[in-house]
Chain A
Amino acid sequence: MKIEGRIWKFGSDVDTDAIIPARYLNLSDAKELVKHVMEDERPEFKREVKKGDILLADKNFGCGSSREHAPLALKAAGISCIIAKSFGRIFYRNGFNQGLPLLESLEASGAIRDGDQVRVNLATGEIFDVSQNKKFFAKPVPAFMQRLIKDGGLIPHLRKKRTKKKG
């Protein structure tokens, strides 16, 4: 699976309250949540982000609450992949469960710049910065989690398994 897009660069310890403030958690609909994604952290993000764009962060991205509204809103905003030095662990699970791939890479997180055009190969973990003509590698994604992404997340994956069982 190949992904290409513009980089939105964030710092370290971006928490889920920053991704989607709790005052909007009376909503469950991704189309509504996306109107508020990152609004306190980086107000122009929700206006300018385009389908396929890639989010880049330093360490511990998505720390804090378990709200799946966070990866849900980012995915609905068009984000195709997140690269960071590390992730909050619940966010990490939630990302894959939503079919949003997350890559851990120390070197890419530091070197890639905001606005760079980047290509990602999920199967190999290769991250190519087109703007800087530089190549980086992420920790390989376990096969099980690659299957989740391929199926579009945990729910479609489980539905597929159930149909297979019945059929």
Chain B
Amino acid sequence: MTITEKILAAHAGKKKVSPGDLIDARIDLALGNDITAPLAIQAFKDIGAKKVFNRNRVVLVPDHFAPAKDILSAEQCKVLKNFAKAQRLTHYFEVGEAGIEHALLPDKGLVLPGDAVIGADSHTCTYGAVGAFSTGVGSTDLAAVMATGRLWFKVPETLKLLFHGRVNRWVSGKDFILYTIGQIGVDGALYQAMEFSGEAIRLLPMSSRFTIANMAIEAGGKSGIFEPDGITLQYVKPRAKRPYRLYQSDPDAHYADIKEFDASRIHPQVALPHIPSNVKDVREVGKIEIDQVVIGSCTNGRLDDLRVAAKILKGKKVAPYVRLIVIPATQEIYQQALKEGLFDIFLSAGAVISPPTCGPCLGGYMGVLAEGERSLATTNRNFRGRMGHAQSEVYLSSPAVAAASAVKGRICHPEEVIRKRG
């Protein structure tokens, strides 16, 4: 079996499962946010449920339009807070201790290797980075899990993505996943579990692995997963407060397909409008001037992302008429970035720093685009109108490309701003 099949079998109380099997699985953790949880809470009441299955295993995070952007959003956040209070949830994160859910939960040690996790947010697939089965669902499924602690799944086929070779300078997880989506398309892994493997993957830090797993959904994937290794354990051990289990795929595991890539051929990538598969090498995009740069989101708002951006922005200025918005993903990351002096660099460069929020990624607030405006963002989707007006454009890249482009005022390779070593 693959790692995904093993985790699902364990949670369904079975010795073996195969792709296509319909199973009823025990869920370790269920997540909702200020967009999806209000519908789920209503559905929970409609079922006739009174208490959540386990008050330690239901997590609510107001992060999308929080701190509330308007009265309607405030009402939605209030629904979460009241439900969390009434159900005495252990893990309700008010804005001062919160941040973007998919950066927050792993950092808090709430999602662990071997877990089966669902979240009413499509980027719940992020937690595959620690070796968990983790997938996004809708509000009704979240309600069912809050009530019963279980959910039905069709066991997915697994698509193995093998990356050989070395990793180029200025290349991070974002370039790996954009490159992959460019190769296989936005439905290239539809209904499948994406298993990322190979010696190049083993070299990647957790931050890059989170970014890769995060965007599995942009290839249509049900989940993205990495077999846990030394790097995973180094991250998980100090954070875990309950036991966890490490699974590996069997050498004779069956895969729907195995795709092999040469990592040394991956250079910084950019996804052009209006679909994440419209990917090019940054050196091939031509002269694309930008009005805004966003560095943040559940995809790329982690400390490593801010560090690389600061490295490029140090002693530089954001180009005239360009807005650079930096959004640390969680309060802890925010504080750490502050301690490390990253904020001085950002502020001196002319960036504005936002508190943690999903805000601009989905055109909510804190950087919404006007008609005809163009943003380069380290976020995950560049659908038409995603960041604001239907006639605006979103380009996707890594934090390194985003920071360099903010300096140049057009999309560029980091080496245009920082000279090559040696």
Contacts and interface: CB of A to CB of B under 8 A. Distances in A.
Contacts of B385: 17-18, 21, 40
Contacts of B137: 66, 90, 93-94
Contacts of A72: 39
B175 interface: no
Contact of B187 (A22, A63, A71, A155): A63
B227 interface: no
A100 to B, nearest CB: 11
Size class of the contact patch on chain A: 35 or more
Interface in A84-104: 86, 88-90, 93-94, 97-98
Given A22-B386, A23-B364, A26-B65, A97 B140 contact: yes
Size class of the contact patch on chain B: 35 or more
Given A64-B381, A162-B48, 9 more contacts: A17-B381, A25-B362, A26-B73, A67-B35, A88-B220, A90-B137, A90-B217, A93-B137, A158-B147
A98 B265 CA distance: 45
Interface of A: 13, 15, 17-18, 21-23, 25-28, 40-41, 59-60, 63-69, 71-72, 86, 88-90, 93-94, 97-98, 142, 144, 153-155, 158-159, 162
A41 B192 CA distance: 28
A153 B364 CA distance: 30
Contact of B36 (A40, A41, A66): A66
Contacts of A65: 121-122, 362, 381
Contacts, number: 126
A21 B290 CA distance: 23
Contacts of B46: 155, 159
Given A13-B186, A17-B384, A25-B65, A154 B144 contact: yes
Given A17-B384, A142-B22, A94 B140 contact: yes
A159 B147 CA distance: 11
B388 to A, nearest CB: 8
Given A22-B363, A154-B144, A90 B47 contact: no
Contacts of A60: 186-187, 190, 220
24 contacts: A21-B385, A21-B390, A22-B364, A22-B386, A25-B64, A25-B364, A27-B72, A63-B186, A64-B381, A65-B381, A66-B120, A67-B35, A67-B138, A68-B139, A68-B140, A71-B138, A89-B220, A90-B122, A97-B140, A154-B141, A154-B144, A155-B43, A158-B147, A159-B47
Given A89-B190, A90-B122, A68 B39 contact: yes
A23 B390 CA distance: 11
Q: Which of B22, B69, B152, B383 has the most CB of A within 10 A?
A: B383
B143 interface: yes
Q: Which of B42, B143, B147, B362 has the most CB of A within 10 A?
A: B362
B138 A17 contact: no
A90 B123 CA distance: 11
B38 interface: yes
Nearest to B187: A60
Contacts of A158: 47, 144, 147-148
Contacts of A22: 362-364, 386
B47 A155 contact: yes
Nearest to A25: B35
Contacts of B144: 154, 158
B138 A66 contact: yes
A158 B22 CA distance: 18
Contacts of A17: 362, 381, 383-386
